[in-house]
Each structure stands twice: as structure tokens, then as C-alpha cells.
Amino acid sequence: MKDIATPSRTNEILKKYGFTFKKSLGQNFLIDPNILTSIVRYAELDDKKGAIEIGPGIGALTEHLARTAKKVVAFEIDQRLLPILDETLAPYDNVEVLNQDVLKADLKNVLEEQFAGIEDIMVVANLPYYVTTPILMKLLEEELPLEGIVVMLQKEVGDRISAKPGTKSYGSLSVAIQYYSEPETVMTVPKTVFNPQPNVDSSVIRLKMRKTPPVELDDSAYFFTVVRACFGQRRKTILNNLTNNLEDGKKYKKEIEEALQSTNIDPKRRGETLTIEEFALLSNTLKRTIG
């Protein structure tokens, strides 16, 4: 059977259905089967595992998942793609397409209903650029029973996700993703293998879910509040950022200074230099004093 993800087959399908791309939905379809084969390989799927896909488009990645996994559930928000997927995925009886916005879906319920008897579930997707971060954070924060996540996303976002302290790309997103998972960039994908061609290259990131967080927190919500505050203005010092960005920070400037002193964190440092362990120590200290 001819792969969906070739330039000629993709164009044939799009022409048949008169499909036009919606920029607002970040639709860029892969037209290189070799890259899809690699993505599925990095997901380490087999006939006992399940796969969740987000934004299947015309089914290019979906069919590769269906050939390997026991069951595939794909979330597609664009109703215009449903009849196309009905046709392109007709040979595969192990695929369920849900016309839902994944950001509004009850994922725990979907996993229970769709993957009964399947223990290992991976998320494997070519994520729309405009909602990459909200989707990843929903998948991680809801503490779903996932084995891992393998996603293609904008290269710049991939760099931020796997960035280390002290680098330009390191920020609150790096800390958040690395709190819940162990990220690894496994592939760089050129913009030339998409239709339509995006403006930037992509990365494939693999996230291995942590069984326990790397740090102990008194309050995880407050931890992320402190992290975001420290990155509020990248050029500012930690003391400046905490004073200006934490609620009542100006009122508690003295306590913030004392918290930094007691944790041996120089108030003149910038947020991008702090490790996740230092953020945890700082947020726990601040929580006990001003939180």
C-alpha cells in the first residue's frame, strides 16, 4: 500500500477533497515516510502498546502508528478532515478518530475507555506549533498513566525544553518539562519535508515520564509561580524579578532577600542560572515565609 506521506499521494488526497490549509490550526503535513518511520521507532511501540496522536491531519503518521501499535486514538479538531481520515485510514481497524479539542478533553476518561487492557501508552504526534506548550503541559500536569511522549515541534521550542541552566534557551518551560519528565532531542527535521512548508525547522523530542519528581516541594503550584517570577524579565536579577513579579513582592522585599541569603543564592544572579534544585529550595523557603 502506498504511503500517505509522499508529495504525490498527499497532493492527490488534498485535490480530491478540495482541502485548503487553515493557518489558524497550524496545519503542516509531513511528506517524507522515512521521518515518520523514525518517529515511530523512537516511540518504541509494539503490538501490545497504545498510541495517542494529536492532530492527525490526513493520517500520514497515524497509519505508521496503526501498523505498529495495538491501538491508536487520534484527536482531530478540524471537521473537514474527518471524511479524509475515514478514507485514508479505512485499512486499519485499530484506529479511533475523536473529533475533539485535546485541550478540552477528559484524557483520563479517554484512556480508561479506549485503552482498556493496554498498560503502556505513548503520545506520538506532530504538534501544531501554536498550541505546543499548552498541550504538553496538559499531558504532564494531569499525571496521566503514560509511558512517554514523542512529539515533533518547532525547533526553538525543542531547544527550550531540553535546555540546561546557564544557557540562553533555559527558561520556565525547561524547568516545568524537566520537573515532570526527562527530555531528549532525538531528531532535527528540515522544513522542506512539509506541505505547506513552515518558516522554521522542527525537532522531535522524547519525554520519558518520571515516576517521582526530581525535587521535593512543599507546594508545586507555588514552585511554578516562583519559577515564572524569576524569569519575568530575563535581564533582571532574581531579587528584582521576585520583588516585581511575585504577589506583594515589594511588600516582602526584606523577606525575599533573607530567603535568598538563607539558601545561599546570590540575589544578583539571573533566573537562567538556577538549577531545578535551587528553584525548589528557594520556593520552599519563600512558601514558609511569605507564601
> Which residues line the annotated binding site?
28, 30, 55, 76, 101, 126
- Decide: helix, strand or coil at residue 274: coil
Non-local (6+) Cβ contacts of 2 within 8 A are 9
Picking from 159, 202, 201, the residue whose alpha carbon sits closest to that of residue 177 is: 159
Handedness of CA 82, 85, 87, 90 (dihedral sign): negative
Non-local (6+) Cβ contacts of 34 within 8 A are none
Q: What is the CA radius of gyration of the chain?
A: 21
Which residues in 220-257 are b (16+ Cβ under 10 Å) and which e? eebbbbbbbbbbbeeebbbbbbbbebbeebeebbeebe
Cα gap 244→242, rounded to integer Å: 6
Q: Chain centroid to CA 247: how far?
A: 28
Picking from 93, 89, 126, the residue whose alpha carbon sits closest to that of residue 1 is: 89
Non-local (6+) Cβ contacts of 132 within 8 A are 151, 153, 154, 157
Q: Which residues sit in the known binding site for S-adenosyl-L-methionine?
A: 28, 30, 55, 76, 101, 126
